[in-house]
Amino acid sequence: MSHDSNKQELEKFVAQCKDILDSDLEKTGLVIYSDRNTLRPNPVLFYGINPGQDPKNHHHTHWSIEKSLNEFASGHPSLITHQAWPKRKVVGGTYVNDYEPGQAPYQRRTQHLLNEIGHSNALVTNLLFLQSRGVQELGKMQTLADSEKLLASCWQVHELILEICRPEVIITCTTAVDRCMGEKFELREESHFPAMHVLNDGKGKDRQCTVFTGNWKERALTVVAIPHMSYYAITSPHRKAVVEKLKSVVKTATNGRPI
């Protein structure tokens, strides 16, 4: 595909997104974290739930959804590898300290996983685009009708992404499967393996990584649900076996399709 064709496709995608998300464009949020070069036939997609951090507190990375689309189209580097995210401390409604670019926990863990499985150029996004301190807070910010409308709008954008990327694998978390993907992709649980993540000071049960198979428009699709990267330190050496298992699952599902 020529450079002009790529540019036209990108412009078309952004215009469609703006049309779909029209009522939410001025709200704080993000659509795609990875750079625009990942929006192409791409065997692996990575999904979180929604952008974190309290939108009521000021920080230079708190963009409107419209700005996030404009920055994506302009060629802004990946927000996972190049953006400096804030640390927790807030003074006078402003985050006062930043991590080095790409070094916030979620960024480091996501990079580590995608690098280790051989798909550093996976497209990275969230199920929902509206930013909140946590997914529970997002629910409190909206009525049930507004929540359903947001999910429906975001899913229309995801359908555009799926049409372009035609993935074989989506790596996500259980909440995304439960809220939407299980139904949309008609997922069936195939297997699971330990996440090596025990809660309650080691007294709780080990979390599981679950492998599902399903379909999107008659295309076979594998979905892997793992603990959320906001708290799951997959970079830890004792989780190397988890990463190796994920790598094996992805390799099998993609049949070695190049990145």
Determine what percent of the chain is predicted with pLDDT higher than 90.
76
Sort 117 into a burial class: Cβ within 10 Å, 0-12 / 13-18 / 19+: buried
Mean pLDDT of the chain: 91
User: Looking at residue 84, what is its pLDDT?
Assistant: 96
147-156: average pLDDT: 94
Tracing tokens 């004792």 back to the chain, one arrives at: 238
Angle formed by the axes of helices 240-254 and 105-116, to 10°? 50
pLDDT band, very low/low/confident/very high, at 257 (cuts 50, 70, 90): low
* pTM, full prediction: 0.92
pLDDT at residue 223 greater than cutoff 60:
yes
Which ranges in the chain belong to alpha helices (H)? 3-20, 65-74, 79-82, 105-116, 135-141, 144-165, 174-176, 182-184, 240-254
User: Looking at residue 203, what is its pLDDT?
Assistant: 54
148-162: average pLDDT: 96
Task: Answer yes or no: are the C-beta atoms of 114 and 34 closer than 8 Å.
Answer: no
What class is the 3-251 domain?
Answer: alpha beta
